[in-house]
Structure 1
Amino acid sequence: MRVAIAGAGAVGRSIAAELIEAGHTVLLIERLSHQFTPEVVEEAEWVLGDACEMSTLEASGIERCDVVIAATGDDKANLVLALLAKTEFAVRRVVARVNNPANEWLFNESWGVDVAVSTPRMLAAMVEEAVSVGDLVRLMTFRKSQANLVELTLPDETPLAGTPVERLNLPRDAALVAILRGERVIVPQPDDPVEGGDEVLFVAPTEVEPELRAALGR
């Protein structure tokens, strides 16, 4: 997969390194000369220029990218890039970083954003997940479907211990996608039991979350 990342600061470089390690081809676009450091991520292609300018995007061959990641520290720049990538270059998937939570409502399909990643929201979710037992924690929202990835850690003394997945009275629109048990990642089968201390991950729309809580004894 070919991925373009706009913004070669600490965030952009870290994403690039991870994607390269996973075997993807990465293009880094940076407008600031002091952050243009190809020696830091040598395996990536580098372009010095403003990712909000058509000329830069054309020169970088962004239309050949499968994914564009707008990872700058400027929400306005990330929105402009997302819109250009989607409407002018028909990039299949656009991911945009949200720096200011107050701007999160803008990061949607009308601006060409397929996936919005809010760093403050994700940090808050991770903190909540680390300290919450027995309640749903919303980890992320899938923009197109408006469904959420939610997590719940079952209490050690849960009355559901030993109950097979097929016997959980889950809402119709809630999908159990994984059970995390210690170091194991379990892809749930109908006869797999849940146990106290399990972290259970669901994809579910917001409106069924109360039913999901009830089904899990909360």
Structure 2
Amino acid sequence: MTARALIIGAPRSGSGKTSVTIGLLRAFARRGVKVRGIKTGPDYIDPGFHAFATGTPGLNLDSWAMRPELLRHLFLQQTDGADLVLIESAMGLFDGIPVAENRTGSAADLARLFGIPVLLVLDVSGQSQTAAAVAHGFAHYDPDVTMAAVVLNRAGSERHRTLCTEAIEKIGLPVAGCVLRDPSLILPERHLGLVQASEHPEIDAHIERLADAM
């Protein structure tokens, strides 16, 4: 396998993982990078957004339902011909239900199995230096899961960005970027989750806005 891979994780659902993932997928594709998306768990909605962003089929990898051999097989298929694979975590990075050793259905399972680093998305609305404590916990919770960098999401101002960035970089984690609070970047939702990509009336324009932000 020659493709590089990165897991987009967060402390919880609603942190902005999907928006960051979709935006990055399109931004890399714009640059001519052969990029593909994967979603952890059984979520069937987000792979549709990944497909719209890249023009290539999305994929689910569910370490709760799939054995390691199947995960490896499907993962290698998705990386075939790709330069980069972005794997979007379901829920929080470590959330799952144990079924066997190192098999919980969480995105952290894939980080351990394939040695993939994590880009941690932190929703910093309503906090500043406290974000560093959250990042520190993620960096040290599991020695087999590597945090590569942090993306700040929903920062309220440049001053807010600076406070969060300085605090997080003091604990040794780089801040790769910051997305300022912008209601136009929020994907529409309904009671059962995100609206499917095919139901979004202006999906391509929305993905372009996300790519611009990333």
TM-score normalized by the length of structure 2: 0.44
TM-score normalized by the length of structure 1: 0.44
Q: 1 or 2, which has the higher helix percentage?
A: 2
The structure with the larger Rg is: 1
Higher relative contact order (CA 8 A, sep 6+): 2
